[in-house]
Structure 1
Amino acid sequence: MKIVKHSGAIVNFNRSKLKQSLLKSGAPIEVVEDVLQQIEKEVYEGISTKHIYKMAFALLKKTSNSNAARYNLREAIRLLGPAGFFFEKFIARLFAAEHYETKVNTILWGNCVSHEIDILFKNNDVITMVECKFHAGRDATTDVKVPMYILSRFNDLKDKKHEIFSKNDIISKCWIVTNNRFTADAVDFAKCSNLNLMCWDYPKGNNLKNRIDNHKMYPITCMTTLTLSEKEKLLILDIILVLEIVNNRDDLEKIGLSQGRIRNVLREASELCRVMKI
């Protein structure tokens, strides 16, 4: 059975790959098998992966909002756009969850020109700059030109003292983070230049998805019990994470939710952030 990917590429339907993505949602194996069986009855030659995803999401949502929310994670990160400002805040919170001291959108003077840095974090007196590359399109990739450009900015900043967390801080490391993927050339160039990369599935075992799951740092945009408009209102209130509304009714009341809706939202938030084994 041939299916069509977002990029237009035609590939074979892979039951095993779909099963793994469903299991990563936290759904029990019996639910996953039932979803797979229902999808297999509906797939046809030339069906799009987008259509398959929508079917899987709808079927998961019938059994558990939180499982559907986890399954929707990559799309939820895309909804932190379109400009990427909220994505930068989200990544800063992710580093903060790992006990790093962070700052966002800081302007620093280099040896040649000034630079606006998306994120700076401090860990054991080591200062790292982080540049975020957000893509609104699902199939867009970050190519080698991006790490080449960011390396030049890093070189302009790294040997100079800055007032960041203290008066004489020196930036000694650089990360580049994207919500999609890096090309092979971008990865090779970064390795050669001692730049750290993080994207949806790189590096293996410590990528963006792994870190989100490990720390339960799910973006508010993955919630299934909130409308798109309600999510946007929470983002404007600087509510970026699901964790930030667990046991907190105030911000949900601010955006006009009824008491019944608030109970449903808090139930999903609590289930989503619960410790889970996959």
Structure 2
Amino acid sequence: MKIVKHSGDIVEFSPDKLRSSLMKSGASASVIDDIMKRIQNSIYEGISTKKIYKMAFALLKKKANSHAARYNLREAIRLLGPAGFFFEKYIERLFASEGHKTLTNLTLFGKCISHEVDVVIKKNDVVAMVECKFHMGREAVSDVKVPMYILSRFNDLKERKHPIFTEKDMVSKCWIVTNNRFTTDAIDFAKCTGLNLLSWDYPHNDNLKTKNDTNGLYPITCLTTLTLAEKDRLLNLDIIVVRELAYSSELLEKIGLSPIRIKKVLRETSELCRNI
């Protein structure tokens, strides 16, 4: 059976890919089997992957909000837009969870000019700059021009000492992070020039998806028990990931939720954070 991807490409429906994505939601095998059966009985020739995703999300939500929240991860990261400011904060949280010291939105003076840097990280005395490339469109990619441009900025900055974590830090590494994907040329160029790339699916075993699963960094935007407006209010209060809400539950009252809804949100939060 042929289905239509977000890009408009027509591909063969793959039950294995659907099952694999459902497994990452944390749902049990019996729940996944039931959802697979329901979806396979409902799809038709030419159906879009977006409609299949919506069906899977709705069926997961009926079983447990937390299953739907995990399944919604990529869309939740996209909802950190549209400007990308909250995506930068999310990436800062990701590196902090891996033991890095972090700072955001710095202006550093290079050998030639000044540069605004999204995130600066430090671990084991190694300081790195992190540039975030956020895309609202699901099919948008970061091509080779992105690492070429950022390499020139990195080369300018690494020539000088900077007052960041100490008075004389040297920026010796550079990361480029995107919520979507890098083109093959972008990856090849980064490998050749020593730049570090991180995207939704790259590197293969240590990408945004796998890091989130390992560190439990579910963005607040994945919660199914909050409206978009409520999520925006929490983001503006600097609540970026779900586990921060678990320790700041009084903020739910501050943004206007009723006691009954607060219980529902905290239940979903608890389920998501259970293994953190």
Q: TM-score, normalised by structure 2?
A: 0.99
CA–CA separation in structure 2 for the residues paired with 1:86 and 1:267: 24
CA–CA separation in structure 2 for the residues paired with 1:249 and 1:90: 19
| Aligned positions, number | 276
CA–CA separation in structure 2 for the residues paired with 1:92 and 1:271: 24
- Counterpart for residue 185 of structure 2: 185
- Which stretches of structure 1, 4 residues or longer, exceed 6 Å deviation after superposition? none
| 1:124-156 CA distance string (max 9 Å, x none) | 111000000000000100000000000000000
- Counterpart for residue 53 of structure 2: 53
- Counterpart for residue 107 of structure 2: 107
Q: CA deviation at 1:249?
A: 2.1
Tell me the secondary structure at the aligned position of residue 3 of structure 2.
strand
- Counterpart for residue 216 of structure 1: 216
- Counterpart for residue 142 of structure 1: 142
Q: CA RMSD in A?
A: 0.8
Q: Does the CA contact (< 8 Å) of 1:247 and 1:266 recur in 2?
A: no
- Counterpart for residue 199 of structure 2: 199
- Counterpart for residue 85 of structure 1: 85
CA–CA separation in structure 2 for the residues paired with 1:186 and 1:142: 7
CA–CA separation in structure 2 for the residues paired with 1:248 and 1:32: 33
Segments of 5+ residues of structure 1 without an aligned counterpart are none
Q: CA deviation at 1:204?
A: 1.2
Equivalent positions of 1:114-129 (< 5 A) are: 114-129=114-129
Task: Determine what percentage of the aligned residue pairs are the same residue.
Answer: 66
Q: CA deviation at 1:247?
A: 4.3
CA–CA separation in structure 2 for the residues paired with 1:110 and 1:99: 27
| 1:41-71 CA distance string (max 9 Å, x none) | 1100000000000000000000010000000
Q: TM-score, normalised by structure 1?
A: 0.98
- Counterpart for residue 40 of structure 1: 40
| 1:222-273 CA distance string (max 9 Å, x none) | 0000000100000011110100111432110110001111111001001011
- Counterpart for residue 164 of structure 2: 164
- Counterpart for residue 97 of structure 2: 97
CA–CA separation in structure 2 for the residues paired with 1:273 and 1:155: 40
